């Protein structure tokens, strides 16, 4: 088998690629995929990060996206896959996909998503399904991050995905703070300034990062 075509993005970069079969892949920040388009299948591995896949319809060649946690199989559809430590998240935007946890050859383990559903595949092979707010899920495609009563540590982790100057939380009291609002990806300063202003905290720029303190 030939070597896969590799596409990747730097931190803070978003990149769109049109594959040879007409499918479109949009890579989020700090992401990497390997693509092999064969005679019988279209196989992609999301090595790290997050990507949206708008799949060109071809029933003769299943479109398969793999991570360490499992596989996503589609014919013609749009979906987002996010590969994180110990879990993979799949959000179906339109069409239909089948999901199998890693090493799950038993057909009974396959989960079929409907548009608007999100599946989280844990390393334990457990699959949970819910319906998130799609506007927040897809905000990164417009260079935005949308939070709605999001715990501050989780919001900081999301903002740090896009910036080379990380935010560090140095306040135990602020651990219980929640964040709501829309921020530009990579604009850690504005995010941090908003948090400290609304919660009467302190912000310190160390040069290599931003510290939120009491």
Is residue 141 over pLDDT 60? yes
pLDDT band at 76 (very low <50, low <70, confident <90, very high): confident
Residue 104 has a pLDDT of 52
Residue 109 has a pLDDT of 65
Distances (CA, A) of 53 to 25, 27, 80, 144, 169: 5, 9, 6, 19, 34
Model confidence pLDDT, tens digit, residues 97-114: 999 888 654 445 688 999
Mean pLDDT over each residue of the chain, to the nearest integer: 92
Q: Which CATH architecture has domain 143-213?
A: 3-Layer(bab) Sandwich (3.55)
Q: What are the tokens at 62?
A: 């299943």
Model confidence pLDDT, tens digit, residues 160-212: 999 989 999 999 888 899 999 999 999 999 999 999 999 999 999 999 999 99
Is residue 123 over pLDDT 90? no
Residue 111 has a pLDDT of 87
**Three-state secondary structure call for residue 163:** coil
Mean pLDDT for the stretch of residues 146-170:
95
Mean pLDDT for the stretch of residues 15-31:
97
Mean pLDDT for the stretch of residues 32-55:
96
Q: How far is CA 101 from the centre of its chain?
A: 18
Q: What are the tokens at 143?
A: 């260079």
The percent of residues in the chain predicted with pLDDT above 90, rounded, is: 81
CATH 2.60.120.1440 fits 5-132, yes or no: yes
User: In the chain, where does DSSP find H-type helix?
Assistant: 134-137, 152-160, 188-199
Is residue 55 over pLDDT 70? yes
- Which of 161, 85, 80, 155 lies closest to 122 in space, CA to CA? 85
Residue 122 has a pLDDT of 83
Residue 103 has a pLDDT of 64
Residue 198 has a pLDDT of 94
Residue 105 has a pLDDT of 46
**Three-state secondary structure call for residue 23:** coil
Strands (E), 131-177: 144-151, 167-169
pTM summary value: 0.92
* Contacts (Cβ under 8 Å, ≥6 apart) of 140: 14, 28, 29, 50, 185
- Which of 90, 70, 74 lies closest to 82 in space, CA to CA? 90
Q: How many CB atoms lie within 10 A of CB 13?
A: 15
Q: What are the tokens at 48?
A: 């790290």
Is residue 9 over pLDDT 60? yes
Q: Write the DSSP assignment of 188-213 as a string of letters.
A: HHHHHHHHHHHHT-EEEE-SS-EEEE
Q: What are the tokens at 166?
A: 């990380």
Mean pLDDT for the stretch of residues 15-22:
97
Q: Where are the domains of the chain?
A: 5-132, 143-213
């Amino acid at each position: 088998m030939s070597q896969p075509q590799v596409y990747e993005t730097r931190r803070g970069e978003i990149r769109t690629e049109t594959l040879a079969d007409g499918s479109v892949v949009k890579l989020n920040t700090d992401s990497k995929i390997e693509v092999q388009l064969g005679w019988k299948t279209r196989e992609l591995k999301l090595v790290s990060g997050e990507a949206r896949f708008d799949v060109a319809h071809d029933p003769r060649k299943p479109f398969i996206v793999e991570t360490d946690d499992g596989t996503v199989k589609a014919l013609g559809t749009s979906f987002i896959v996010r590969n994180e430590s110990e879990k993979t998240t799949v959000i179906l935007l339109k069409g239909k996909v089948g999901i199998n946890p890693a090493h799950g050859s038993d057909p009974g383990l396959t989960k079929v998503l409907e548009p608007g559903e999100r599946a989280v595949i844990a390393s334990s092979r457990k699959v949970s399904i819910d319906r998130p707010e799609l506007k927040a899920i897809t905000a990164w495609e417009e260079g935005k991050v949308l939070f709605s009563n999001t715990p501050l540590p989780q919001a900081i982790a999301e903002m740090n995905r896009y910036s080379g100057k990380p935010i560090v939380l140095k306040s135990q009291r602020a651990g219980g703070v929640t964040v709501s609002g829309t921020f530009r990806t990579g604009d850690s300063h504005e995010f941090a300034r908003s948090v400290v202003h609304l919660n009467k905290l302190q912000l310190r720029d160390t040069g290599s990062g931003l510290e939120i303190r009491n």
